[in-house]
Each structure stands twice: as structure tokens, then as C-alpha cells.
Chain A
Amino acid sequence: MNEKVQRRIFHYLKKNKIENFIGVPDSTLKHFIDECQKNNRIIISTREEEAIGIATGMTLSKSSSLVFMQNAGFANSISTITSLVQLYEIPLIFLIGWRGYLSDDAPEHLKIGKIQLDLLKIIGLKSKIITEKNWKTSCDWAFKQIKEKKPCVLVIRRMFHD
């Protein structure tokens, strides 16, 4: 996803009362994360589960939060998602960079990348793949989800090599 759209997504989320952006950096999301930093709205945690914990505490305090991570970190977080976020119905938005979407991505990403959408499905976490064309309606969908106290996921595919 191009730089301009990533930066616009941050401002659209902020305008719609997402107040906290917490997570572990991912190169697929780097322009989005940079915009969070420029606007001083970011907490970079040591692990993804930690980010989910902090975001949960803020959400319990009625301050809406987004947690960003790479899909490797999503795999780390599955138990936290099932035994905290879903168990207590904490309405968080997850923004996940999808490594291993391209079948010739780096080898460490291929196995998880291949099952990324199945993983989301199997734990019952609703998701949308967010693109340069549908990003606004996907964000609106996410706002609706959290209003109904449902956590949800926006996925950005990694479409490039470096």
C-alpha cells in the first residue's frame, strides 16, 4: 500500500476517535507507523501481546485503541486474543501487515503467510483486507465493529520485496 494512503488512514482513524496506536513495527506498515509517530500518538511495545494488554487497559478506560503488528506477531498473540480480547469482548482494531502473501517472500514468512486468513477465521476474528481502493469503507466497517463491542482486523498485504 502506498505511502500517501497509509498516512491518510492514520488521520481517518484519528478523526474517528481512535486515540491510541500501540504495537510492534512492521515494514509493510512503516508509513502508517511513521504518521502515528509524527502525531505523537504511538506506543512501541516490546512484544505484540504487551501491546494488546496496554490497548486493553486504555479501552477499559473508554479510550479507543488500535494495535499494529506483523502477522508473525499475530501468531505470537493468538492466546492473548482468545483469552483476553475475545473472552472479555474488548473492542480493539488490529492492523496486521501480511508477510508471506507473495509466495516468493522471505522463507521465514511463508508458512504463516500461507495460513494467515485461515488463522483469523479459525479463531473467529472478523477481518478485511484493506487496499488503496477500499480503505475508507474498510475503516468504517471497523468502527462499526468496535461500536458493537467486537474486536476486528484490518490486513495490509505485503506486495513488494526489499
Chain B
Amino acid sequence: MIRKEAIKIISENIGKNPIVSANGFMSRDLFEVNDKESNFYMIGSMGLASSIGLGIALKNPKKRVFVFDGDGNILMNLGSLVTIGSMVPKNLVHIVFDNSSHESTGGQPTQSSIIAIDKIAKSTNYIVFRTSSKKGLQKILKQIIKKSGPILVLVKINKSNRVSKRVSFTPIQIKNRFMKAIQ
């Protein structure tokens, strides 16, 4: 399974719930596969998708807030796992698409092949799921509906050579339509 396939399965499953997607290929893939007004494409500030997602989750307790993170991204902000785990946002679902590489910058390795990110998350009080198949992912999406967060789903993905187009909205447009969508 490549990231784009995993993104498609999840984003089509969760309706209009807000998604904060990490910079680089993550946001580009989400934009190409399933653009929605409730997608916040974080095009810069690498590492911070889960922090932005936490802020949204705390202020929108009736919505399920999804973070589409990468392994390289969350490894830049591991403190975020500690903060999220201690604040216990019940409505936060943190998906980490893990290909053990910085794919957006040329596929250089991360250390997630040696240190398991889901194990770190578990020790910071997340409820953790892990899969590397489409079937497994679909099953997890059903399982988490009734679970209380913070939830982390680690989706092991393969690298891909297909590069999605850039997000064509300006940052201000991304912000404005997102704010309207989550009102």
C-alpha cells in the first residue's frame, strides 16, 4: 500500500471531519485524492500537524479531528506526543503514515525502522493500532469509531515514485475555507 491509497481509504471513510495534513507529499496526496474544505493543508512548519490538530480537537469536542502525519514529521516534534497524551483529547485521531523515510526530500531514511513510533505513542497514553494492509486499515477504521482518544494509527506504507501536484489554494484560502467548514 502506498500513501495515496491509504489516504483515500481514510479520507473517504471519515466524511466532513476535519483533517490536518502534514507538509510535503502528505498534503499534496490528500489534495489530489480527496480535496475537502475541512482539510487544513499545513504546507510549511514541518512537525506541527499534530499540535495544530490538538488545538482544534480541544476546541471542537463534538468533532473527530484527524491528523495525517508522516514519520519524519512526528519525529521532529515528539514532545507533541507527551502533550497530547497528558491532555487526553478524546476526539483526536492521529494517523502516522510511516515509510521510514523523508520521501518528499528524496527518500532519505528516518529512524522509524529501528525505533517504533507506535511504541513511543503507547508510552504516552495513546490507544495504538498498527497495520500495513488495506484490509487491516479498513478494520481499524471501524474499530476506532467507538474508542475514546487519543488514538494513534500507524500505517506502514511503501515508498512511491508518483508525485502528486502541489496544493493550488493559497494559504489564506486554505485557512478561510477550513474555518468556515468547522464552524
Binding site for B on A (CB under 8 A): 43, 45-47, 49-63, 65, 79-80, 82-84, 87-90
Contact indicator B178/A87 (Cβ below 8 Å): no
B174 within 8 A of A: yes
Instruction: Known contacts A50-B83, A57-B52, A88-B171; decide if A83 and B60 are in contact (CB<8 Å).
Output: no
Binding site for A on B (CB under 8 A): 20, 40, 42-45, 47-60, 77, 79-80, 82-83, 87, 171-172, 174-175, 178-179, 182-183
Contact indicator B83/A45 (Cβ below 8 Å): yes
Main secondary structure of the interface of B (DSSP, over half): helix
Contacts of A52 in B (CB 8 A): 48, 51
Instruction: Known contacts A45-B83, A46-B79, A88-B172; decide if A61 and B56 are in contact (CB<8 Å).
Output: yes
Contact indicator A54/B55 (Cβ below 8 Å): yes
Contacts of B60 in A (CB 8 A): 61
CB distance from B73 to the nearest CB of A (A): 12
Contact indicator A53/B175 (Cβ below 8 Å): no
Contacts of A54 in B (CB 8 A): 51-52, 54-55, 58, 83
Instruction: Known contacts A46-B79, A46-B83, A88-B175; decide if A57 and B59 are in contact (CB<8 Å).
Output: yes
Contact indicator A89/B175 (Cβ below 8 Å): yes
Contact indicator B80/A58 (Cβ below 8 Å): no
Contact indicator B171/A43 (Cβ below 8 Å): no
CB distance from A61 to the nearest CB of B (A): 4
Residue of chain A at shortest CB distance from B78: A46
A89 to B173, CA, bound (A): 11
A60 to B50, CA, bound (A): 14
A80 to B42, CA, bound (A): 11
Instruction: Known contacts A60-B182, A88-B174, A88-B175; decide if A49 and B77 are in contact (CB<8 Å).
Output: yes
Which residue from A45, A63, A79, A83 sits with its C-beta under 8 Å from B79?
Answer: A45
Contact indicator A61/B47 (Cβ below 8 Å): no
Which residue from B51, B57, B178 sits with its C-beta under 8 Å from A53?
Answer: B51
CB distance from A91 to the nearest CB of B (A): 11
Contacts of A45 in B (CB 8 A): 51, 79, 83
Contact indicator A89/B172 (Cβ below 8 Å): yes
Contact indicator A50/B51 (Cβ below 8 Å): yes
Contacts of B57 in A (CB 8 A): 57
A89 to B170, CA, bound (A): 11
Which residue from A43, A60, A61, A80 sits with its C-beta under 8 Å from B45?
Answer: A80
Residue of chain A at shortest CB distance from B76: A49
Contacts of B77 in A (CB 8 A): 47, 49-50, 53
Contacts of A60 in B (CB 8 A): 40, 52, 55-56, 175, 178-179, 182
CB distance from A86 to the nearest CB of B (A): 9
Shortest beta-carbon contacts, A-B, top 6: A57-B55, A53-B51, A83-B44, A46-B79, A61-B59, A53-B48
